Amino acid sequence: MTAYFDAQDSGSVEVAFRAARSLMLSLTALERYEEAKLWARHAEVLSPELADPSGLDEAEGHYLRIRIEEGLGDYQSAARHGEMAAAMRAKAVGSEHPITAAVYRRLSGIYLHQERVLDALGLLERALAIWEDAVGHEHPYIGDIVMLRGNALFEMGRVDEALEVQREGLALQERVLAADHPGIALNLDALGRVYRALGRVDEAERAHLRAMALRRERLGPRHRMIAQSLLNMAVIDRMRGRHETAIERCTEAIEILEASLAPGHPEIAAAIEQTADLYLAMGQPDEALLRRREALARRESARGLDDRSLMTPLVRIGDALRMQGEHGAARKSYERALAIGERVAGGADYTLVPSLVGLAEVGLAEADFDSARRDASRAVALAENHGIGPRLTAGAHFALARALVGRGEWTADAISMAETARDEYAAAYDAVRRTEVETWLAASRR
């Protein structure tokens, strides 16, 4: 810090800029993101005064801000800085250069947080091709990109592909990293999540326990990544019916996160939402809804009332209200999520699909089949145009099938759409929803 002020006093812009950038990097490494952001702004003020015709210094500033904003939980700002860094590096060295591809990789992780899965997958496949050409396949960076690609495939409901990719990523990291490297824990957790979706609980538990052991050994018992391990093990406990143990793990995870993150950080909100899932599984819907609203309030206090990160929590609150028969309140929640998405992403973005499906479900519950058909038709069009994968597309197809039948349009198209939804739920390993569609089809054919 002294070097920065000494440089300012002497009038040396470049030395002051380098000192500010160095402080920013040091504070980021210590996860002191608020302070790091202040020094990043100091560096940004000085950057235009430097003779840097390539623009790479400014691009580097935006690239470094990705991690800061991500650490603060502001994924919208992180995405904005990532997009600027990518554009500047592409202009300076080309869009197929490894340092530009490095931005693609970081930006894809942000897009996954924002549930912009297709955008993330496109960047990851591009980054993978560029980096394999630059360093070959046997490299930790490749293993990291492969893992993220597996995460994207999983979010799309392409579970079988995700399993193959995550196994490949873990095997690669185990070859190129030390056996006790904490980075391997990320691959283990990603693989464990796929095993959970497949119902292979024993394999999932082994993967998550190994990840936790690696983190405890290298990072200590109260590191924020231990919280992630606790949350993963809470899912295992829930799958085994150990709900009280799962609640205890979630509570401990939230305590760890609150000790190291700002109150409105999305990781804390996500942990609270996981607790809500547990209360719902325990037959306590009112407590579950209370927790969801608490998580939403935290997100709103940190990000404002119009941030993209509110869309999924609002849809889940709408789902909870709809299941309790509070259709008017559910509609308001879905409509707010839809309005945010339309303002932030436009009316043709695939992230609108869940809120449209929710609105269609409200229409079906109220026997308003015209509105249900309208919202479900729009959801189907967006889902099919973007190829977002079976999980979300299935909900849109099933809602539209029921809306058509409700309007008296008992056609082969409606049945075919429901059958497509059944197959999509099967592909996404959602046995509960698949059974729901099968039951509806059986009743409809009588």
Contacts of 292 (CB under 8 A, 6+ apart): 272, 273, 276, 313, 316, 317, 320
Instruction: Give pLDDT, residue 4.
Output: 40
Domains of the chain by range and CATH? Answer: 345-446 (1.25.40.10)
Residue 216's SS3 state is: helix
**Whole-structure pTM value:** 0.84
Q: Name the residue with tokens 């979010």.
A: 155
Q: Which of 249, 222, 154 is nearest to 192 (CA)?
A: 154
Please give the Cα distance from 397 to 377 (Å, whole number): 8
Q: Which of 427, 432, 374, 425 is nearest to 400 (CA)?
A: 374
Instruction: Give pLDDT, residue 49.
Output: 65
Is there a contact between 71 and 97 (Cβ–Cβ < 8 Å)?
no
Q: Which amino acid is at 313?
A: P
Instruction: Give pLDDT, residue 7.
Output: 44
Contacts of 22 (CB under 8 A, 6+ apart): 3
Instruction: Give pLDDT, residue 408.
Output: 87
Segment-wise mean pLDDT, segments of 10 residues, the chain, 446 residues: 46 75 86 85 76 78 91 87 95 95 95 86 96 95 95 90 96 91 92 96 98 93 94 96 96 95 89 95 95 95 89 96 96 98 91 96 97 97 84 92 90 90 90 94 82
Please give the Cα distance from 256 to 275 (Å, whole number): 15
Instruction: Give pLDDT, residue 8.
Output: 46
Instruction: Give pLDDT, residue 384.
Output: 87
How many Cβ atoms sit within 10 Å of the Cβ of residue 377?
17
- Total residues belonging to the chain: 446
Contacts of 213 (CB under 8 A, 6+ apart): none
Q: Which of 57, 147, 134 is nearest to 108 (CA)?
A: 147
Instruction: Give pLDDT, residue 2.
Output: 52
Residue 193's SS3 state is: helix
Q: What is the DSSP letter of 54?
A: T
Dihedral sign, Cα of residue 90, residue 93, residue 94, residue 100: negative
Instruction: Give pLDDT, residue 9.
Output: 42
Q: What is the DSSP string of 408-421?
A: T---HHHHHHHHHH
